[in-house]
């Protein structure tokens, strides 16, 4: 996986922390959420999956988890609002952009396939990480839109820190906007339970 610096201001300043990739990733994404990729960016390779419209019908189940895909969670254009939101001013309702079929997944046990990018390790295991729709999405590659990744916190033990390999992650999905000091930090979160076998 080849990395390049993002030149999106004001995030470009944080991109200089080359040696602490995990440490600087979260603030960088916080500042650059929704930034459009550069014109010369390579095409983004994604895990194939069902269309967004498939959420309107019965969902396929796997070990008591509803199978969904990033093709659905990221299956709509997300426009990041102007940031930071001034102190004392309520943040905009960014979830109004999220289709009702996705908002209905809030609190649902789901399993989906994606790529891990650890942000917190304990005894060599990832207890907190970003779960991405593509291995090419990261702070030094192509900045993902807010609907192309999930902030994950494992409920119990962590997972082996596997990168650039797709895994099927199971847990409870939260569809809610998180803000920190006027910046949108995420719209998807997952309380991770563990990994399941990837189904073809």
- The CA distance from 18 to 184, in Å, is 23
| Count: domains in the chain | 1
CATH number at residue 189: 2.40.50.870
Q: How many CB atoms lie within 10 A of CB 105?
A: 21
Q: What is the pLDDT of residue 167?
A: 95
Q: Is residue 94 part of a domain?
A: yes
Are 189 and 107 in contact by the 8 Å Cβ rule? The answer is no
158 pLDDT exceeds 80? yes
Residues 6+ apart with CB under 8 A from 36: none
Q: Is residue 140 part of a domain?
A: yes
Q: Is residue 53 part of a domain?
A: yes
Express the helix, strand and coil content of the chain in percent, nearest 5 each.
20, 30, 50
Q: Is residue 97 part of a domain?
A: yes
Q: What is the pLDDT of residue 141?
A: 61
Residue numbers of the domain that contains 73 = 11-196
- The CA distance from 118 to 159, in Å, is 10
Are 43 and 89 in contact by the 8 Å Cβ rule? The answer is no
Q: Is residue 3 part of a domain?
A: no
- The CA distance from 25 to 139, in Å, is 6
Q: Is residue 6 part of a domain?
A: no
Q: Is residue 95 part of a domain?
A: yes
Report the percent of the chain where pLDDT is more than 90: 62
- The CA distance from 149 to 52, in Å, is 16
- The CA distance from 190 to 129, in Å, is 10
The model's pLDDT over 18-67, given as tens digits with 9 standing for 90+, comes to 233 333 344 444 434 444 444 454 445 556 789 999 999 999 999 999 99
Q: Is residue 131 part of a domain?
A: yes
- The CA distance from 113 to 198, in Å, is 7
Q: What is the pLDDT of residue 25?
A: 42
């Amino acid at each position: 996986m080849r990395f390049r610096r993002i030149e999106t201001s004001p995030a470009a300043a944080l991109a200089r922390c080359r040696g602490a990739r995990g440490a600087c990733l979260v603030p960088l994404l916080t500042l650059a959420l929704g930034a459009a990729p550069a014109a010369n960016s390579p095409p983004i390779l994604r895990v194939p999956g069902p269309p967004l419209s498939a959420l309107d019908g019965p969902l396929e189940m796997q070990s008591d988890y509803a199978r969904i895909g990033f093709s659905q969670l990221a299956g709509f254009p997300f426009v990041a609002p102007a940031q930071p939101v001034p102190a004392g001013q309520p943040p905009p309702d960014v979830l109004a952009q999220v289709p009702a079929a996705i908002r209905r997944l809030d609190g649902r046990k789901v399993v989906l396939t994606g790529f891990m990018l650890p942000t917190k390790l304990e005894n060599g295991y990832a207890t907190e990480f970003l779960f991405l729709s593509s291995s090419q999405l990261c702070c030094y590659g192509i900045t993902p839109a807010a609907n192309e990744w999930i902030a994950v916190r494992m409920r119990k033990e962590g997972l082996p820190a596997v990168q650039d390999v797709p895994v099927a992650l199971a847990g409870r999905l939260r569809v809610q906007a998180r803000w920190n000091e006027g910046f949108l930090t995420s719209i998807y979160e997952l309380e991770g339970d563990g990994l399941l076998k990837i189904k073809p």
